[in-house]
Structure 1
């Protein structure tokens, strides 16, 4: 059963044109990297037969796409990729010294006079490893969202049902935003952390280098404004159709509108 869909898009950093997009019924983005890369390859082959766009450009992706299998894929295809792991900011001295990072960010909010609510942590949730079920602090059941490797750690993830979270008296202690559409998510580590593969280590060394940090830093300003436009300006904060083909068509329609706006403002340039 598919519980929901995730719209994924690849964007160029020159004009923020969406070069490939697809909606997937996968809980984790890491499973979508390979089909997205193959989609980009086919798209540019149609534009220019014989082209090898994946070998001619740099690919950046956030930590949601990080996995051992994806690191092997990047090196096997000869792609100059920069895919962050979920610990890369901790290794970056710029973030360690930043007053907006983690506890320092909460402290700044306090200094501004705002209240920082203490959200429930995974320890507040009732997880049964034998039955692989979970209940939230309010006693409501949660559905199993994902079980598998995230990076090098086997993990199981649960999510609250939307109607339970929406009407819950504890949502101010649980949700990041009381009016958010999706239910609370919580994850639990299973067993010992597996040793890092050589491919993961190579990517860590690459993204921790001064050049790697510089290249990866461009990802935020490239793709996030596109999603901001689709969500805030176009109103696509959730899919309104059912079924993969219909959801994918809706996602592609919104992406097409975004691209038409870009072409209208940037002119008929060759992308």
Structure 2
């Protein structure tokens, strides 16, 4: 279950479910929240499960600033040169290795686990390199996989690193709500099955949570007045819908014998 919450009042904004993990949920969730809140731009804090370059870039293009916890690179802690010490030249689209050799790409974009990457290598230089034992165990020499969204990932990493206190707010914003639902209210699983039914059940719980939070944010009389205004808003919506429905009544379809028998 993914959920969006606001940082000021700690209220649930939106939710979704149906995927095994959070990898593909960042931009769909944030764009949905932005539309619901009717804001021009926003900042979003997430854990590393949501950190995917493609969706970070989509957020940036839609005026959404991400602070997603960076994922550790696979080459770390293996005793070999970390990818971070290879200097990337954006203009020439190549890497310079610790031995001052250039790793180039042929421009081909490969699909790896649903991620689009480019390969950078220099097999000829690796054959006679004195630093090879410290760099790679690959018989063909060192090569680097760079996501086509690597720039968006690096900019996100810089934002998180330069705003450590801001990123820590994430635990204060979302963990408390889920802690209340699961620990205090015992909502650790859903009774319903199927995405639509499950979301309906979860929405009811989150509405109850938000109403309880509103009792702490507003005075009781203020909350009553706001709920009355909301009731009038939906009543006018229904009246407008009912007038349109009666003005253009739908013709009932004839029943089929199979329907009657069932």
The question of 1:246 aligning with 2:197 is answered yes
Q: Residues 66 and 151 of structure 1 are in contact (CA less than 8 Å); yes or no, is this contact kept in structure 2? A: no
CA deviations on 1:210-243 (whole Å, 9 max, x unpaired) are xx21211111111100010111112111122111
- Aligned equivalents of 1:28, 1:151: Cα separation in 2: 19
- Aligned equivalents of 1:237, 1:150: Cα separation in 2: 33
Q: Secondary structure at the match of 2:174?
A: helix
The question of 1:33 aligning with 2:26 is answered yes
- Aligned equivalents of 2:156, 2:116: Cα separation in 1: 12
Q: What are the residue-to-residue correspondences of 1:175-194 with 2, within 5 Å?
A: 194=145
**Relative to structure 2, which stretch is displaced further, 71-80 or 248-257?**
71-80
2:43 is matched with 58
The question of 1:17 aligning with 2:31 is answered no
TM-score (structure 1 length as normaliser): 0.52
Greater Rg by CA: 2
Gaps of 5+ in 1: 1-6, 46-50, 92-146, 153-191
Q: Residues 66 and 150 of structure 1 are in contact (CA less than 8 Å); yes or no, is this contact kept in structure 2? A: no
- Aligned equivalents of 1:75, 1:85: Cα separation in 2: 16
- 1:42 Cα shift? 2.5
Q: What are the residue-to-residue correspondences of 1:35-114 with 2, within 5 Å?
A: 35-45=28-38, 51-52=39-40, 55=41, 57-87=42-72
- Aligned equivalents of 2:187, 2:193: Cα separation in 1: 15
CA deviations on 1:108-136 (whole Å, 9 max, x unpaired) are xxxxxxxxxxxxxxxxxxxxxxxxxxxxx
Q: How many residues align?
A: 157
Structure 1 runs of 4+ off > 2 angstroms?
A: 147-152, 192-196
Query: Residue 238 and residue 14 in structure 1: after superposition, are their counterparts in 2 closer, same or farther (change >3 A)?
Result: same
Q: Residues 43 and 64 of structure 2 are in contact (CA less than 8 Å); yes or no, is this contact kept in structure 1? A: yes
- 1:150 Cα shift? 8.3
The question of 1:200 aligning with 2:153 is answered yes
- Aligned equivalents of 2:189, 2:11: Cα separation in 1: 21
Q: Residues 30 and 66 of structure 1 are in contact (CA less than 8 Å); yes or no, is this contact kept in structure 2? A: yes
- 1:87 Cα shift? 3.2
CA deviations on 1:120-159 (whole Å, 9 max, x unpaired) are xxxxxxxxxxxxxxxxxxxxxxxxxxx936898xxxxxxx
- Aligned equivalents of 2:72, 2:178: Cα separation in 1: 24
Q: Secondary structure at the match of 1:19?
A: strand
- 1:27 Cα shift? 1.0
Query: Residue 233 and residue 77 in structure 1: after superposition, are their counterparts in 2 closer, same or farther (change >3 A)?
Result: same
- Aligned equivalents of 2:116, 2:12: Cα separation in 1: 27
- 1:80 Cα shift? 2.0
Q: Residues 10 and 174 of structure 2 are in contact (CA less than 8 Å); yes or no, is this contact kept in structure 1? A: yes
Query: Residue 59 and residue 15 in structure 1: after superposition, are their counterparts in 2 closer, same or farther (change >3 A)?
Result: same
Q: Secondary structure at the match of 1:69?
A: helix
- 1:79 Cα shift? 1.4
Using CA pairs below 8 Å that are at least 6 residues apart, which structure has the higher relative contact order? 1
Q: Residues 68 and 156 of structure 2 are in contact (CA less than 8 Å); yes or no, is this contact kept in structure 1? A: yes
Q: What are the residue-to-residue correspondences of 1:205-216 with 2, within 5 Å?
A: 205-209=158-162, 212-216=163-167
